[in-house]
Structure 1
Amino acid sequence: MSRQIVTCFEDYQKARISFVQNIATFAERPQNIDALKESGVMLLLKPLITDPVPSVCLSASLALGRLANASEEMAEAVVQNDILPQLVTSLKEQNKFFKKSAAFIIRSVVKHNAALAQAVVESGALESLVSCLQEFDPGCKESALFALGYIARHNGDLAQFVVDAGAVPLTVLCLQEPELTLKRVSASTLADIAKHTPELAQVVADSGGIGYLVPFVSSADTKLKMQATACLAQIAKHSVDLAEQIVGAELFPRVLDCLKDSDASVRKNAATLIREIAKHSLDLAKYISDMGGIPAVVAFTNETLGADRLPGVMCVGYIAAFSEALALKVITSKGIAPLVHCVVTEPADYLKAAAAWALGQIGRHSADHAKAVADEGVLPKLVTVMVHEKATDDLRAKCKAALKAIIGKCVFLPALEPLLLQPAAPKEILKYIVEQYAKVLPSDVEGRKQFVSCGGLQRIQELDAAAEEGSRLKTAIAQVNACYPVEVVRYYTPGYKSELFQKIEEFRP
């Protein structure tokens, strides 16, 4: 009789193991999630995650984690069915395998939204997760770091909870571990914390994170480089002081080598990091220039397409904005051509807008800078993009600002001719062009002749007929007309030829 009881118990145990393993396997496929949800599998798994048989417990945790990972509704069910307290207990009292499984479930729950992450924080899981960072097992630390990073990434308040739980110093210690995967996850978690506010980024810096992250920029491991550059960019973006700390940790020329990396994500993150440093001050922009950063960023911008191009475009604009010398360095590094290419060929309006803004930053400094930009045929292209019917308001605003800045400095009148004669040029741009002619023509005899021969004066008279009285355009047209004899102006006025023919018909010799 006792033998039969033992056999029945063994069969029952095998059945439980088979059940949870099958559920874990089914949960791997997204198409099975709805069926598992409708079958009420969550309530069946709940008691099994504390089963005395380790294989049952681990398989049940794996199944639960996969279900929560695949569906926000299933993640909410984990919270609603009071499974979180059991997970917190597992994190505190069980061995490393149970802790890894519990951390995996928590990570799968919190990834979906801030409300679920807040529920996990309120359950007391943070302290238990942080305690896992002191475990000897690297896998246990990695699982806990994933969960902490997923909690912190949602908003600054949740990230502050993670910091208050003491996670940052222990995460920095994990950067020093020999395991590559642990280094990667640690860098990612620090980025999730630092991205929200200057104060949180300062906590990471004060814990020594920068000193360990910067050497990883030269790592032979692609994923570690990617995570390190991303984390440093999240720190650098907040303030001049943080950016200077990163530069002072000998970031250059390491990061410039990353711009030539074979991995697209590494290249993009490196360009983003340089951009976040360059935007803060003239001194940092000059330092980047002195280290050979401008040609490197221009080359990156020239060789990259799509969304990955954005940090390079903006970096060029930030650097050029600070001074004439830096803008000239961008010009001599052939930095205008990739920006023009971006304006003309990129389908995304936000990329076109960024490139237009950068061109404006280059051309706004002096007549020489404006001429260098205009010589690339930029002005008519900006107008074409600006007046496109599908252009966003931001793109139109950026193009208008760039045109105003470049035209306002351009004294090389042949560069303005295509823009003046372009039928699509809107009035808000034409007024800047005519005002520029009004400034230059009075002292330029050859310019006045060329203006007539190219059809500019005739175009001015056409604009005069449609301009509103008292407007800036009307005033600028009057100033241009004052540069010519009255009979010349009358000759090119619309309708004047008809008057002449009428006089011929009426004339009696």
Structure 2
Amino acid sequence: MSFNAEKTVTRIAEDHPTKNEPAQSAEKDETFDETVLDGYITENNQIAPEIIDALRSNNQTARLEAATKLHRLVDKRETTSIQPIISSGLMPDIVSMISLDDAELQVPLAVVLVHLTAESSETISAVVEAGAIAKCILLTSSSTSDLARDNALMSLGNIGGYSQPLNDRVIQEGGLKPLLNILASPSEHKDSHKYWAANAIAGITHQLSSDVAGYEVITQDMITVLTKYIEYKQDETAGSLRYSLLALSHILSNESSIHAVLETKIIPRIVQLCSSEHANTRHDALECVGNILYSSEGAEHLTKAGAIEALMSCIGSEDAQDRVYACWAAANIAAITSTLEQVKALMKAGFVPMLVKAISNLEEEAEAQSNAAWALAGLAYNWGQFHREFLRTLLEANCVEGLLSALALKDQEAVAVSIKGLLVFLETWGLVKQDAMERIQAADGVGLLRVLKLRPEAGFAHERFTAHMILKKYFNQFSLPPRV
């Protein structure tokens, strides 16, 4: 029997921001008197009639002045200004007025649009129904204003990253194409455009469903552009590189996309970025590695590219998230989808003692401890019971002691697999079994099993029973309470 760690190992999900703040103009008036904003909203929580009339007038100067007032209002008083704009029925006007004919008007309206797309589902849906996606596509593709283009890119990211239905809508209306076009021709675009395009793609991929029409074509287009951009962008501190990696990791969370990524020859670059000095870039590269390891083919490519060495460096890092990712990757290598050679490489690199250290360290991140427990249990359960030399190596690396420490974790699934891992050592024979039992006794394993047997949590019923069975079957002379 075997268990497959990939189905239950804690996957680190980078929280993609669902709210992008508007880009600010370098010419922002720092001397603006905010008290004038009090007159922009009436006592009944509506936008002042003179602003509404000016915005809807045919006078270009009046429209620009009104739009600028709304811009300042949402900029300075976002929490109290959005509802008056909606209540005043200005949302369709704001969207419809965005055009290429008036470049000056694009900026304040695009800023207001960013704030509207950062609100509730109802507000965002209403903005979309008013035609916001088409207007954002227009600005990102053709606006002569860099600021308007940046804000349009942000709005697309806000809409596409909010929910799956809105994500589908952005894709169906062609909102992904201008984003990919920017990253596909990076030398032709400003850094801010590339940053916000990558940010928007990361938001869209975060909500992307494999049920969307044309999923394979959509993901193939993104994989092609993202991998080329990751190869192209050498500045590891660039946010556009970080978000491109994040977007790729989202795509890789669907195992069907792994082969397409492998064909791009991007693996060596991703492995290289796992050692980046820039933490965010490194973490997103590690996220990609963890997802690729769900595939045996992917694990083979990563192993050849030196991923295990990079992961070994991460598991000993002072950065807690590095250790979380490294333990997660080790758990995926220990799964049944890997090959014997890949597992041997993991053990040869010295991962087992580091996994034991992660579990035993009371100050370690809970996610790292749970993932390390899955890794040790996977090595014992998936591989050790079929390869006795593995069990001997695991014993010498204190695997039993690590699994015993894992019995105290709060994560029920990690405790469950850890006790399965212990049973592999107890259900074998000869010197390996004898050594394992001696190690359990020396590490106060009997006491730890007693504690597990008495854990009160409702979800631990099976683990309590298994602990009782182990004590009764293998340590009966120690399992009874002392006589009084």
Q: TM-score range by the shorter chain?
A: 0.7 to 0.9
CA distance in structure 2 between the aligned counterparts of 1:128 and 1:376, rounded to whole angstroms: 61
Distance change (3 Å), C-alpha of 1:139 and 1:289? same
Distance 1:384 1:312, change over 3 A: closer
> What RMSD, in angstroms, separates the aligned Cα atoms of the two structures?
3.4
- Confirm whether residue 216 of structure 1 aligns to residue 229 of structure 2: yes
The one of 393, 412, 431 equivalent to 2:412 is 393
Q: From 256, 259, 271, give the equivalent of 1:244.
A: 259
- Matching of residues 9-88 of structure 1 within 5 Å: 26=34, 43-44=47-48, 46=52, 52-53=60-61, 56-57=65-66, 59-67=68-76, 70-71=78-79, 74-88=81-95
Task: Tell me if structure 1 keeps the 8 A contact 2:205–2:250.
Answer: yes
Q: Does 1:225 align with 2:241?
A: yes
d(CA) in 2 for partners of 1:36, 1:406: 74
The SS at the match of 2:142 is coil
- Confirm whether residue 429 of structure 1 aligns to residue 467 of structure 2: yes
Aligned pairs, how many?
Answer: 416
Change (3 A) 1:81 1:355: farther
Measured after TM superposition, the shift of residue 298 of structure 1 is 2.2
Shift in alpha-carbon separation, 1:360–1:348, aligned structure 2, 3 A: same
Indicate if the aligned counterparts of 1:350 and 1:395 stay in contact, CA closer than 8 A: no
1:353 aligns with 2:370: yes
Provide the C-alpha distance between the structure 1 equivalents of 2:391 and 2:355, rounded to a whole number of angstroms. Answer: 15
The answer to whether the 8 Å contact 1:320/1:327 transfers is yes
Task: Return the alpha-carbon distance in structure 2 between the equivalents of residues 38 and 396 of structure 1.
Answer: 60
Query: Identity of aligned pairs, percent?
Result: 16
Deviation of residue 325 (structure 1)?
Answer: 2.3
Match of 1:338 in 2: 354
| Residues 22 and 262 of structure 1, relative CA distance in 2, 3 Å threshold | closer
Counterpart of 1:11? none
State the 1:66 CA deviation: 1.7
Say if 2:327 and 2:372, in contact at 8 Å, map to a contact too. yes
In the TM superposition, residue 237 of structure 1 has moved relative to its aligned partner by: 1.2
Question: Shift of the alpha carbon at 1:127?
Answer: 1.8
Residue 309 of structure 1, CA deviation? 3.2
Which residue in 2 is equivalent to 1:372? 393
- The offset of 1:335, in angstroms, is 1.6
Distance 1:40 1:23 in 2: 29
Paired amino acid for 1:198: S
Q: Distance in 2 between matches of 1:122 and 1:135?
A: 22
Pairing partner for 2:202 from 191, 209, 230: 191
- What is the CA–CA distance in structure 1 between the aligned matches of 2:159 and 2:285, rounded to whole Å? 26
Note closer, same or farther for the CA distance 1:338–1:60 as it changes in structure 2 (3 Å cut). Answer: farther
On the 8 A contact 1:275/1:318 being kept in 2, the answer is yes
C-alpha distance in 1 between matches for 2:268 and 2:54 = 54
| 1:236-271 Cα shifts (integer Å, max 9, x gaps) | 11133x211112112121111111211100000000
Paired with 2:119 and 2:163, the residues of 1 have a C-alpha distance of 13
Q: Please, which of 324, 334, 340 is the counterpart of residue 320 of structure 1?
A: 334
C-alpha displacement at 1:67, in angstroms?
A: 4.7
- Distance across 2 between alignment mates of 1:91 and 1:293: 48
Contact 2:45 2:84 in 1 (8 A): no
SS of equivalent to 1:303: coil
**What code does the residue aligned with 1:182 have?**
H
Q: Residue 90 of structure 1 aligns with which residue?
A: 97
Q: Whose helix proportion is higher, 1 or 2? A: 1
Which letter maps to 2:72?
Answer: A
Once the two structures are superposed, residues 428-484 of structure 1 have per-residue CA deviations (whole angstroms, 9 ceiling, x without a partner) of 23645876x6xxxxxxxxxxxxxxxxxxxxx53243x57xxxxxxxxxxxxxxxxxx
Alpha-carbon distance in structure 2 between the residues aligned to 1:460 and 1:230:
52
Q: Provide closer, same or farther for how the CA distance between residues 336 and 166 of structure 1 changes in structure 2, counting only shifts above 3 A.
A: same
User: Aligned-pair distance for 1:332?
Assistant: 0.8
Distance of 2:376 and 2:42 partners within structure 1:
57
Name stretches of at least 5 consecutive residues in structure 2 with no aligned partner. 1-27, 454-465
Q: Alpha carbons of 1:371 and 1:40: their partners in 2 closer, same or farther (altered >3 Å)?
A: farther
Quick check: 2:327–2:371 contact (8 Å CA) kept in 1? yes
What TM-score does the superposition give when structure 1 sets the normalisation length? 0.72
Decide which of 140, 144, 147 is 2:155's aligned counterpart.
Answer: 147
Check 1:326–1:123 CA distance in 2 against 1; reply closer, same or farther (3 A cut): same
1:122 to 114, 123, 129: 129
| Partner residue in 1 for 2:461 | none
Q: For residues 188-212 of structure 1, what are the alpha-carbon distances to aligned partners after superposition, in whole Å with 9 as ceiling and x for unaligned?
A: 2222222331255635334x33222
What is the alpha-carbon distance in structure 2 between the residues aligned to residue 283 and residue 363 of structure 1? 22
Which of 318, 322, 325 lines up with 1:311 in the alignment?
Answer: 325
Task: Confirm or deny: 8 A CA contact 1:268 1:309 kept in the other structure.
Answer: no
Q: Say which of 255, 275, 281 aligns to 1:260.
A: 275
Q: Name the CA shift for 1:62/1:415 in 2 (closer, same or farther; >3 Å).
A: same
1:276 aligned residue (291, 308, 324): 291
- Distance verdict in 2 for CA 1:338–1:66, change over 3 Å: farther
* SS, match of residue 249 in structure 1: coil
Task: Tell which structure's C-alpha radius of gyration is larger.
Answer: 1
CA displacement, residues 149-176 of structure 1 (integer Å, 9 cap, x when unaligned):
1011121110001011111222211222
The residue type paired with residue 85 of structure 1 is P
Higher RCO (CA 8 Å, separation ≥ 6 residues): 2
Note the C-alpha offset of 1:277.
1.3
